Amino acid sequence: MTSIRYSASTHVGHKRKVNEDSILALPDQNIWVVADGMGGHAGGDFASQTVVDSVAMIDPTLEPVQLLHALRDMLAKSHERIQAESAALGGITIGSTVVTFAIAEGHFAAFWAGDSRLYRLQAGEIEMLTTDHSYVAELVLAGELSWDEAEQHPQSNAITRAVGVGEHLELEKIRGQILPGDRFLLCSDGLTKYATFNTLKKILSSEPIETVAETLLHLALEGGGADNISIIVIDIH
């Protein structure tokens, strides 16, 4: 039988006054979420908290086949709640990235919008399973930048999708099989600004589950901690 362990951490960083990131772990339902809010003090923390609060309302008795539908529905509801809050605040733009990760029946499924990411370490190799919805991601996909270079681009924060922004919520989805020994990382861009692929591979390959999230957090803080930082690491045994 598959056994799953995880560790998680979120931190305001060194430069921000408010942590606009929110994280959620529902290990009994095998659901994890990272959300990175935007819109300043008035809205960013509200937006990301709305995302995780909505997902937390999923019925724990659902069958696996119903889980993904419920997850998508809850994200759609959070989209509507954030838009209502935006209107109440006079139409300012508030929203949140999201990356969700769910496990059922030997497979994983992830939804995402924005530039919060999902990585997988498998057989010693690291792979980014999500593709950022951002201006610089389009440059990477066009072959003009590497992902590591994109993190240093002056427009690296310009995202093209978010929960709460736009008429309809646009989510992307990936599914795959889980294997014993797999390690998954969900994170906000407060980590990836300071962690190249090689750095992530080194830490994820060597650190035990008890300390890996804190080690990654320390890396981002030592690097400058200019943004909020959120990390969830999930091990499959």
* pLDDT tier for residue 9 given thresholds of 50, 70 and 90: very high
Taking residues 12-31, what's their average pLDDT?
A: 96
Q: Domain 4-236 class?
A: alpha beta
Tell me: the pLDDT tens digits for 58-88? 999 999 889 999 999 999 999 999 999 999 9
Q: What is the C-alpha separation between 175 and 169, in angstroms, rounded? A: 19
Task: Identify any residues that bridge with 121 across adjacent strands, giving them in sequence order.
Answer: 126, 183
CB atoms within 10 A of CB 51: 33
Pinpoint the alpha helices (H) of the chain: 40-56, 64-88, 135-141, 147-150, 189-192, 197-206, 209-223
Tell me: the pLDDT tens digits for 148-204? 999 889 998 899 999 999 999 999 999 999 999 999 999 999 999 999 999 999 999
Residue 70 and residue 62 in contact, taking contact as beta carbons nearer than 8 Å: yes
* pLDDT tier for residue 105 given thresholds of 50, 70 and 90: very high
Residue 160 and residue 112 in contact, taking contact as beta carbons nearer than 8 Å: no
Residue spans per domain, the chain: 4-236
Return the DSSP state at 58. Answer: S
Taking residues 13-29, what's their average pLDDT?
A: 95
Three-class secondary structure of residue 192 per DSSP: helix
Strands 172-177 and 107-113: what pairing? antiparallel
CB atoms within 10 A of CB 123: 7
Return the DSSP state at 185. Answer: E
pLDDT at 41: 63
Residue 116 reports pLDDT greater than 70: yes
pLDDT at 21: 97
Judge if pTM exceeds 0.85.
yes
